[in-house]
């Protein structure tokens, strides 16, 4: 299965919610299916990443949205898959047994249309070998749930609280950037029992075909990801860090990371781990390059561990105006 875990520099190993990660890299939900797709790519190894977020999973199977579902944009892409998945029972009974949990950590992505569905999916994943769960309250391309949960702090907190009651596994709440005050939402999720935060999900966007004057995406709107959103995502991580940091709640920073420099910026801004998504579609082996670049930076600056870099941004004493977040 590729290179051995010990080939990674020791400085890349990091702790996240009590879990030991091989490196700070996390493969994001929806980009690697249910964890097996990239094992077929020559040169790819699960040992190169700290964790893999599995595809969004609902209580019952979903067919997803009608096509088109993906559209390339300048410096990014729109997607509106619509949470197509075989349902939680199939994932737990058929897919999880095929994954090698000795190679990396696996994180389930809990999705739903009601608070009760989120809770039930959490309960079923709790009775499985999954390492942690990501609560997907911010999917911008489903007609039920999704945005309405992620953009409302009260609803976000209700979902987190319901899931918290049903598991002791680490809960990671995936925050939406499409809201007025992401820091306030983060605070409410932490108070409801979230162990960590994923910052951010995709921005809502659309594309139009001028010739037909119709939306390109079958769902009309979709989630925008890729390098185009990186500066926006970086600020969101910094904003959430102001709330999460004092509580010791770690962040997975994500949004347009394609180079080691990108990953380092997110770590310095306050992310304890960094998510890789859109870049995988055009460079499946990008994680090796990211790991090498991060390790070189740590060595050059005589930094012993990734943890020692997290949240080290020097703003010259300037304070962030959290009320302007979003």
The reply to whether 189 belongs to the active site is no
Both structure tokens of 229: 């959103």
Cα 281 → chain centroid: 16
List the one residue out of 252, 265, 254, 255 whose CA is nearest residue 293: 265
Task: Give the single-character DSSP code of 59.
Answer: S
Query: CA–CA separation, 81 vs 188, rounded Å?
Result: 28
Query: CA–CA separation, 251 vs 198, rounded Å?
Result: 6
List the one residue out of 297, 247, 225 whose CA is nearest residue 268: 297
What are the residues facing 19 on neighbouring strands? Answer: 16
Task: Give the single-character DSSP code of 316.
Answer: T
Cα 269 → chain centroid: 16
DSSP string across 134-148: EEE---TT-SSSTHH
Q: Which of 53, 139, 163, 287 is catalytic?
A: 139
**Helix/strand/coil for 276:** strand
**Helix/strand/coil for 48:** helix
251-254 and 171-174 beta bridge pairing: unpaired
Query: CA–CA separation, 146 vs 163, rounded Å?
Result: 16
**Helix/strand/coil for 73:** strand
14-16 and 19-21 beta bridge pairing: antiparallel
Stretch (H or E) spanning 20: strand 19-21
CA distances from 14 to 31, 200, 301, 309 (A): 23, 21, 18, 11
Catalytic residue IDs? 139
């Amino acid at each position: 299965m590729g290179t051995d875990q010990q080939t990674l520099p020791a400085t890349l190993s990091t702790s996240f919610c009590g879990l030991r990660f091989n490196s700070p890299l996390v493969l994001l939900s929806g980009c690697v299916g249910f964890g097996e797709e990239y094992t077929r790519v020559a040169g790819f190894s699960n040992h190169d990443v700290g964790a893999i977020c599995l595809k969004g999973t609902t209580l019952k199977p979903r067919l997803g949205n009608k096509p088109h579902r993906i559209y390339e944009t300048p410096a990014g892409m729109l997607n509106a898959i619509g949470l197509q998945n075989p349902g939680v029972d199939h994932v737990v009974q058929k897919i999880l047994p095929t994954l090698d949990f000795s190679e990396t950590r696996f994180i389930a992505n809990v999705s739903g249309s009601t608070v009760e569905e989120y809770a039930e999916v959490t309960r079923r994943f709790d009775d499985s070998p999954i390492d942690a769960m990501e609560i997907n309250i911010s999917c911008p391309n489903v007609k039920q749930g999704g945005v309405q949960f992620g953009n409302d702090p009260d609803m976000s907190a209700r979902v987190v609280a319901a899931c918290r009651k049903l598991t002791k596994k680490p809960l990671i709440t995936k925050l939406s950037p499409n809201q007025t005050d992401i820091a306030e939402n983060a605070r409410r999720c932490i108070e409801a029992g979230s162990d960590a935060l994923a910052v951010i999900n995709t921005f809502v966007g659309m594309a139009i075909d001028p010739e037909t004057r119709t939306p390109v995406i079958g769902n009309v709107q979709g989630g925008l990801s890729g390098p185009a959103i990186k500066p926006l995502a970086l600020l969101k991580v910094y904003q959430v860090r102001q709330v999460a940091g004092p509580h010791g709640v770690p962040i997975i920073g994500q949004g347009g990371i394609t180079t080691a420099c990108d990953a380092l910026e997110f770590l310095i801004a306050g992310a304890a781990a960094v998510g890789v998504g859109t870049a995988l579609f055009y460079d499946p082996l990008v994680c090796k390059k990211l790991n090498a670049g991060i390790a070189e930076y740590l060595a050059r600056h005589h930094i012993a561990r990734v943890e020692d870099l997290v949240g080290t941004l020097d703003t010259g004493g300037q304070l962030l105006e959290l009320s302007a977040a979003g």
